[in-house]
Amino acid sequence: MACGAPLRRLPARPARLPATLPSGACRGPDRATSRAQALPPLQTIGAAFVAKVMSVGDRTVTLGIWDTAGSERYEALSRMYYRGAKAAIVCYDLTDSSSFERAKFWVKELRSLEEGCQIYLCGTKSDLLEEDRRRRRVDFHDVQDYADNIKAQLFETSSKTGQCVDELFQKVAEDYVSVAAFQVMTEDKGVDLGQKANPYFYSCCHH
């Protein structure tokens, strides 16, 4: 099974202070708690990887997911991870308009450097809008127009509640399978989708 190259998520967040611990790392014993509470949110340095096994019809697809750093200082590093990507989930914070500007930067990069990369726009923190709609700083229709323009799909998600996260990854996997099947039909090479439950593996990213 031909395997594509990486599929990545490119978080679009303004620069923050670098952290010395990886995301999700335990910050240590209780006595450190009060200090830890005063620290800024942890920032991705380099990239984090996870594999996600998905079902698409009767097929099994293993997404290799890279969560890359979104801040400017790690730009060059992030480029290494999305080289050859088949899909990219470009994230922005629905409550922060500057993060959408940053997302557009990554879209431009991907479109100029990665011709075959399918782009998915992902507005994050939708749970905060459920609590208070006035917190929205990025208009849904503006982004939808932009998405139509660049032939991207748009999702609004929440890591906190899980809203739309599964749908997004399912769509990524389905699109990959149908594009691969289309290539088989048109190029007659590379990918044998007749092999059931034979996972193909490529890299991407997680939320």
For ligand GTP, the binding residues (CB under 6 A) are 11, 13, 41-44, 69-71, 124-125, 127-128, 158-160
Helical residues (DSSP H) of 88-198, grouped into ranges: 97-113, 126-131, 140-150, 165-187
Q: Would you say 12 and 102 are in contact if contact means Cβ atoms under 8 Å apart?
A: yes
Name the residue nearer to ligand GTP (CB basis): 42 or 56: 42
The nearest distance, CB 190 to ligand GTP, in angstroms, is 33
Q: Would you say 182 and 190 are in contact if contact means Cβ atoms under 8 Å apart?
A: no
The nearest distance, CB 42 to ligand GTP, in angstroms, is 6
Phi–psi pair at 30, nearest 5 degrees: -55, -35
Name the residue nearer to ligand GTP (CB basis): 6 or 11: 11
The nearest distance, CB 107 to ligand GTP, in angstroms, is 16
Name the residue nearer to ligand GTP (CB basis): 161 or 178: 161
Burial of 14-35, coded b for 16+ CB within 10 Å and e otherwise, reads: eeeeeeeeeeeeeeeeeeeeee
Name the residue nearer to ligand GTP (CB basis): 47 or 177: 47
